[in-house]
Structure 1
Amino acid sequence: MKKFPNAFVILIAVIIFAWILTYIIPQGSYERILDEATGTTRVLNNSYQQINSESLSILDLILSIPRGLIEGAETIVLIFLIGGCFYVIEKTGALNEGLAKLVKVLDGKETLALVLVATLYTAGGVSIGMQEEVIAMIPILLLFGKSLGYNTFTIILMSYGSTVMGSSFSPSNPFAVLIAQKEAGLPLLSGSELRLVVLAVAFLVWLLFLIRYANKNRIEKIKMPTAHESMTARSKIILSLLVLTFCGVIYGILYLDWGFNEMSASFFALGIIVGLIGKLGINGTGESYVEGFKEMMFACVILGFANSISLILKEGMIMDTIVYGLFGPLKYLSPSLSAVSMMVAHAFLHFPVPSYSGQAVLTMPILVPLSDLIGLSRQICVLAFQYGGVMADMIVPTNGALMAVLALCNIPYNKWLKFAIKPTLLLLLIAAIALVVAVAIGYQ
């Protein structure tokens, strides 16, 4: 059997396929207006109409590659700087000492370690919609997980998978729930009670699946490469600064309206300080950063390529047609079936729109009036979006973060899809039941 194409080839193929679709799918557009109060562009409901626009040329296709990289600049810089920062910390020896200590403490308690890591990353997804940040931590997670006897699939599930699950079922994900509620005209954080109950159920099922799979697929433990029996004072200071930086970044995102640039600056500063504390010197710290950049290069390119796909669909004037085709038929269904179908449609839409915050801004102004028309509450409309759109990040090949993680783990996409489809469908089943219950109890 020939080797399955890697992430680079897959995304190039999808970009070309998206370009071909611009010649097949009818062009169309919704009317948009600028909301001067918020500075955001809003879509007008019932304003879709087919149009005739100039088709994208072969030059447009080629130009979409650098333009996609430019569009993802903030995210790419974040991954570069976090990756560089972690490489500097690794060079000081603090990470190896800390991980070796942790592995020693957790020896014989591997299931507890699995639960703790999954809980930590779920909390990151619930609180800040963490996803791209996982990329830079993958090399360390692989070392840690294999030291406990877990295979690569388990390591991806307990980290990236847990962030996706937490982000999807979160009552407060700022890039999904809060944006969608704002677009739907709902009070922020409203309806959290049901979301918290469903999150608890989904998290419990997720843990049970994760533990069952991990225990059935153990590998031989890999010994941690460290020469220290105990942590030095310098390493304790470095790791404490790392924890404080993470706490500061989370606080900044939740309360200070921080974006990727502020996060990047925080980790860049941490790397410089840690390098000096770790006695790498100015040159040594700079060289370590460069090595860290090299490690993250392929992942960053993959992230940029993913942006090119939605860029082509938008400029080819078929993105709105796709939205219209997916959600238009929902008005003919019963409320319960419409809610579940809306979730499924969001999952499919996430293929061409891998940014779920962008998906919320694109679809909510269209779906809110439709929901009002068919008797669905706006909260249920938001639920269908967050469950379908965000959960699709587990499997869509257009999601740059997923493809970057798989590239760093040397896992072909076809093997991941075959493995991940089962837990993804399991969680979507829980989400579908939650939507039916929400309709039955009149969730507002």
Structure 2
Amino acid sequence: MKLSFPHPMVILLGILALAALSTFVIPSGSFERMLDEESGREIVVPGSYQLTEDRSISLYDALGSVPEGIILGADIIVLILLIGGAFYVIEKTGALQVGIEALVYRFRRSQSLLLVVFSAVFFLGGVSFAMQEEIIAMVPILVLLSRKINYDLRAIISLSLGSSLVGAAFSPINPFGSLLAQQIAELDFGQGFAYRMVFLVLAFVSWTFFHLRLGKSKQNLDEKTEFSPVKISRPHALILLLTGVGMVLMPWGIIQRDWGYNEMSALFFVIGIASGLIGKMGVNGTARAYSQGFSEMIFAGILIGLARSVYLVLEKAQVIDTLIQGLFSPLEVLPSTLATIGIFVSQGLIHGLVPSTSGQAVLTMPLSAPLLDLLGLSRQVAVLTYQYPAGLMDIIIPNNGGMMAVIAAAGVAYDRWIAYVWKSFLLLLGLGLISAILALFWFA
């Protein structure tokens, strides 16, 4: 009898159970916090760690963290529901399929160019505003594109979600990662910008062309791809234009107007309703399609909430600070290169506990920056050893709700995703480690 791989919900509930059990083994402890006036966030005080009263999590508290995590993720879940509903309406008008077919026909003789541009768009989304949850609603586009060009769906996910995550990991301007880390480390934004840009370009080229080759090698050659010209009707053209404007407005609003989830949700709510009316679905038809879109996205939202529940359990038990103290303190006596590798690995492990990159920056940068000072090394190394592993771990860790929601919505099992992506993940992780080690000499 062949055993099936666990469902994503089972995986996250299993991690939640392990997190709860770990609180009986790992002692509770905490660092003191203080308000950082520049970032407006609470940061830890180096050297202030101390053990606290045991806060082991009971079964009651562990179960209670499930709805609590979903409630705390309400803003992201609403975003997923409203954007997902909008794309479902757009798909039901037929505009999405027509647009994909027209795009594929336009690039019928240069599919590689199409995929490079496709990857670049998502990569820039990651670089500029760490796009991730927004991609969940775009899964129908990814599935359609995969079918039309007869490409492995996992390759298409890698060239969209994966490209965005890699872009965020290597970005010198990601406000939730590198910029926040540099601010906490009291570094000038311009310092090392050119150095970071070199590795940003190398990351894009390495990741994109790896998956162009791998995806092509996994094409089903028995299936012939047929290309035929497609005429886009006026309503479909208007819907596609409206959708494109929304996709441009979203990063502009985030970067220029400090938009949050509410503003993005409202934008696509309007686009979804307008698309249904333009597509002649009528008021009731649009409402029905939108509600069906909600049902398609609910599971993705639940995965986001469950991922947050894992962190909640560890936070309530006050074991995260203990783990960070245990990972960082032995590095003080190591030579500079080994210490750099140790911090790099530690930050990757910590991201499995703290799936928020901004939360990890606030938690670890006040500790790793002074540690690098003690070793006589540049604080830029502290930023790089946090930024690369924290960002890249989002590609594989199951408590990254965004990634789990995308592959679940696409119908790709977690084990099949890992089996496909692990080589490219290690390739980029190696590139990040090389960058961090070379930085020892570049910023000396």
TM interval, shorter chain, is: over 0.9
Question: Runs of 5+ in structure 2 lacking a partner?
Answer: none
Alignment partner, residue 201 of structure 2: 200
Equivalence for 2:56: 55
Q: Which residue of 1 aligns with 2:175?
A: 174
Q: CA 1:377–1:221 in 2, change beyond 3 Å: closer, same or farther?
A: farther
d(CA) in 1 for partners of 2:291, 2:392: 34
Check whether the contact 1:242–1:270 (CA below 8 A) recurs between aligned residues: yes
Distance (whole Å) between structure 2 residues aligned to residue 208 and residue 131 of structure 1: 21
Shift of 1:198: 0.5
For residues 124 and 38 of structure 1, do their structure 2 counterparts lie closer, same or farther at Cα, with a shift above 3 Å needed? closer
Greater alpha carbon shift after TM alignment, 29-38 vs 423-432: 29-38
2:337 aligned residue: 336
SS of 2:394 mapped into structure 1: helix
In structure 2, relative to structure 1, the CA distance for the partners of 1:91 and 1:222 (3 Å cut) is farther
- Cα separation, 2, equivalents of 1:190 and 1:37: 18
Q: Residue type matched to 2:175 in 1? A: P
1:402 equivalent in alignment to 2:407 = no
Alignment of 1:216-365 (within 5 A): 216-219=217-220, 220=223, 229-365=230-366
- Secondary structure of the equivalent of 1:41? strand
Question: How far does residue 319 in structure 1 lie from its aligned partner after superposition?
Answer: 0.7
Q: CA deviation at 1:231?
A: 0.4
Instruction: Say if 2:117 is the partner of 1:112.
Output: no
CA shift in 2, pair 1:111/1:257, >3 Å = same
Q: Which residue of 2 aligns with 1:420?
A: 421
| Offset of residue 189 of structure 1 | 5.2
The letter for the 1-side match of 2:103 is L
| 1:350 Cα deviation after fit | 1.0
Deviations 1:243-280 (A, max 9, x none): 11121111111121112221111111111222222222
**Most deviating of 198-207 and 14-23:** 198-207
Distance change (3 Å), C-alpha of 1:221 and 1:378: farther
Residue 436 (structure 2) aligns with: 435
Structure 1: distance between partners of 2:301 and 2:191: 36
1:148 matched residue in structure 2: 149
Distance, in Å, in 2 between the alignment partners of 1:54 and 1:9 is 26
Separation in structure 1 between the aligned mates of residue 88 and residue 134 of structure 2, nearest angstrom: 14
In structure 2, give the amino acid aligned to 1:56. I
Contact 1:146 1:221 in 2 (8 A): no
> How far apart are the structure 2 equivalents of 1:397 and 1:375?
36
Work out whether residues 142 and 153 of structure 2, in 8 Å CA contact, stay in contact via their aligned partners in 1: no
Question: In the aligned structure 2, how far is the partner of 1:209 from the partner of 1:352?
Answer: 29
Identity of aligned residues (%): 43
Distance of aligned partners of 1:339 and 1:392 in 2 relative to their CA distance in 1, 3 Å threshold: same
d(CA) in 2 for partners of 1:242 and 1:377?
Answer: 45
Q: What TM-score, normalized by structure 2, do the two folds share? A: 0.95
User: Structure 2: how far apart are the matches of 1:179 and 1:5?
Assistant: 36
In the TM superposition, residue 186 of structure 1 has moved relative to its aligned partner by 2.0
**Equivalent-residue separation in structure 1 for 2:37 and 2:345 (angstroms):** 33
- Name the structure 2 match of 1:382: 383
1:84 aligns with 2:48: no
Contact 1:171 1:189 in 2 (8 A): no
Describe the SS at the equivalent of 2:100: helix
Q: 2: distance between equivalents of 1:223 and 1:57?
A: 58
- Residues paired across the two proteins, number: 441
Aligned amino acid, residue 118 of structure 1 = S
Q: Which residue of 1 aligns with 2:370?
A: 369
Alpha-carbon offset, residue 36 of structure 1? 5.8
Q: Deviations over 1:315-349 (max 9, x none)?
A: 01101011111222221222222222212111111
User: How far apart in 2 are the matches of 1:254 and 1:178?
Assistant: 13
- Large movers: runs of 4+ above 6 Å: none
1:122-169 Cα deviation digits (max 9, x unpaired): 111111111111111112211112210101221111111111111111
Number of the residue aligned with 2:16: 15
The letter for the 2-side match of 1:29 is S
* SS at structure 2 position matched to 1:231: coil
Shift of 1:221: 5.4
Q: Which moved more, 1:121-130 or 1:181-190?
A: 181-190
Q: Which runs of 5+ in 1 are unaligned?
A: none
- Once residues 157 and 372 of structure 1 are traced to their aligned partners in structure 2, the CA distance between those partners, rounded to angstroms, is 37
SS of structure 2 residue aligned to 1:11: helix
Once residues 212 and 96 of structure 1 are traced to their aligned partners in structure 2, the CA distance between those partners, rounded to angstroms, is 26
Q: 1:176 to 1:321 in 2, by over 3 A?
A: same
- Quick check: 1:339–1:376 contact (8 Å CA) kept in 2? no
- The 2-side partners of 1:166 and 1:13 are apart by 30
Give the drift of 1:305.
Answer: 0.3
Q: Deviations over 1:341-365 (max 9, x none)?
A: 2121111111111111111111111
Which residue identity lines up with residue 217 of structure 2 in the other structure? K
Aligned to 2:210: 209
